[in-house]
A and B are shown apart, each in its own frame.
Chain A
């Protein structure tokens, strides 16, 4: 429980005995993990990096003779080739961008809300609710996708429910229209302004960039929020339980209302957890693959293709291994950039940097007061 004791303990052992011996033993004990990591992580990454800059055709080892270095050719085909490969990548980026932009904030808010709810003192049967909310997270995503396909089918439960309310539901997983386009249509904009039609970025016209997620993708967005908010709720609960009741009581004595207490006392102290949740959310939602693979395989009209799925299908189905690997590395770069951006954003808004140290890590639970 207490890292303070643990850290003194470990530094004590390191100081005693002959260092060389210890180091050798240390390496010996870590060797299995290092070998496993090298074999299953470092080596595949190196191989993929090589494939992305080579003309490997998918037969035999990529390191075998006959595989030529082609420079950035694969990357060029994907980001500036002017062909189908570029347009597919642009489409995949657009799809996933809307997915991320909607999923990450919504799942964070939903999970925080659920956590506050099941953490409240007045709630009875907390255990039941925690289990219930966490349940979607422990269920296999393939199983949930199948469930979702049934729920959101043309004659599925969701549309039956909507029809009770007098709404004709869309044919969810078959509807390629973007929701922004549908909104535009409802206010009478049926066709794009010529300027937005002609200009393109990554082979996709500006009008199509602004389409919003397709109805099919929206169903996946709802699913992602449904499945992941339970996991992140758990993180928030852990953080909330380490917060000091005293602070909240003090705020209450000062006359702060429920909302003020949450906004000015609880939320700032949750910032490290918030960072974790948003980072994990960003990474997870940029890598979305299994739902697409089992659910729609990119359809309808390619509106649920994501870079991860595109990388897979480019490599395995089209035998364009170099381009597939290149897409994977571009995706990697995108995730890094987004993570850095959100790190900077979360840091900048922190007016009292020192407060960060008072983060509710479990071990420092009782030592929040200034030392």
Chain B
């Protein structure tokens, strides 16, 4: 009695599983032919997936996309992702990704190497207008994959009231490491520390070029993480942390440098352009100015950040998607975005207008000239994450040991 029942059970399971397989096969079966059909014809609505820094950004992007939709006659919708990377991955796996989406440089290599991304940017009409450093950031295997949507650089943000209260004037704006340390000490009093920034490589690594170092060699093929220059820079950061004139924002109970700055837990912070949007939204009463990061022993240095407008290889309407990106990265739209949520345009043609419109962001623009970008090679994101983890304990660890460990990891990643 047991055997037939067991075999029948097995049969039923087989039927169910094969049925389920069949169903899922049907699912993708429906998707792929229609995808092929329409990518040739180039029709169908466009869906845009973004990760928004706030209402201002979401509203501005939605308005810009709606504008394009009206003039082009192609339906388009904007979705704001709560977890962009997860939603993108899901879309690529199901074969029905969003057509146009935000993409960060560290995610580029992963999606590019599995063929999820359409390398369309080389054929854009305004291809030559993008800042060269941004074009490099989104070039993988010799192909310019996606159009940079904006740009930001790190600068030193100073609280005007605390600055004056400490008896400092314009002449005291730190131009060197020593001055930075001295100023930070003067600004440290009571519950306020002089300088604060997030415990992550995306802030700390700004000190590396100031000492003449970098994370990778200029061709991006060799790791130079534990160079003497970088050791010098990280030792300087550690010194400021241990003598109390600087603190990680996390040690102040803040989520990031901007929050510590807004709550006046720190008088200065190292942040990108996005801080202006955040401050005007959450801490509108704070008066501040941004200046270039102080120069180290080997001159000025900062980090540049950017995202791009990715287009999915599985998009059903790539021509329309490309047309949309062309408009979104156009000089006018980028200026609208700059006014709405404080980013810098990614195109050179908008630079002079931006300088005129936002004289207070002069420092960020100036930084573009000498900025480095963080490594975006396959697997580098993981190494940087480990770097962040190690930076959290910088105060109690040996800077050289941290850099040695990351050097080994980075070398292993690059040689894969």
Which 4 pairs show the lowest CB-CB distances between chains A and B? A154-B253, A38-B16, A57-B114, A319-B110
| Bound: A307/B412 CA distance, A | 23
Give B92 Cβ to nearest chain A Cβ, in Å: 5
Query: Which B residues are in CB contact (< 8 Å) with A176?
Result: 389, 392-393
Interface flag for B125 (CB, 8 Å): no
A59 touches B393 (CB 8 A): no
Interface flag for A302 (CB, 8 Å): yes
| Bound: A316/B107 CA distance, A | 11
A58 touches B92 (CB 8 A): yes
Closest partner residue, chain A, to B113 (CB atom): A57
What are the interface flags for B13-27 relative to A under an 8 Å C-beta threshold, 1 for contact and 0 otherwise? 100110111011100
Query: Which residues between 142 and 184 of chain A lie within 8 Å of chain B, taking CB atoms?
Result: 153-155, 171, 174, 176-177
Closest partner residue, chain A, to B313 (CB atom): A59
Q: Which of A42, A83, A301 meets B17, CB within 8 Å?
A: A42
Give B35 Cβ to nearest chain A Cβ, in Å: 11
B110 touches A61 (CB 8 A): no
What are the interface flags for B361-395 relative to A under an 8 Å C-beta threshold, 1 for contact and 0 otherwise? 00000000000000000010111001011101100
A300 touches B392 (CB 8 A): yes
Interface flag for B292 (CB, 8 Å): no
Closest partner residue, chain B, to A61 (CB atom): B28
A38 touches B17 (CB 8 A): yes
Query: Which residues between 97 and 144 of chain B lie within 8 Å of chain A, taking CB atoms?
Result: 110-111, 113-116
B114 touches A319 (CB 8 A): yes
| Bound: A194/B327 CA distance, A | 61
Query: Which A residues are in CB contact (< 8 Å) with B250?
Result: 171, 174, 300
Closest partner residue, chain A, to B88 (CB atom): A316
Interface flag for B93 (CB, 8 Å): yes
Interface flag for B252 (CB, 8 Å): yes
A318 touches B115 (CB 8 A): no
B409 touches A61 (CB 8 A): no
Interface flag for A317 (CB, 8 Å): yes
Interface flag for B95 (CB, 8 Å): yes
Q: Which of B85, B383, B393, B412 meets A317, CB within 8 Å?
A: B85
A301 touches B393 (CB 8 A): yes
B16 touches A58 (CB 8 A): no
Interface centre among A27, A59, A154 (most CB of B within 10 A): A59
B110 touches A171 (CB 8 A): no
Interface flag for B218 (CB, 8 Å): no
Interface flag for A60 (CB, 8 Å): yes
What are the interface flags for B222-238 relative to A under an 8 Å C-beta threshold, 1 for contact and 0 otherwise? 00000000000000000
B390 touches A301 (CB 8 A): yes
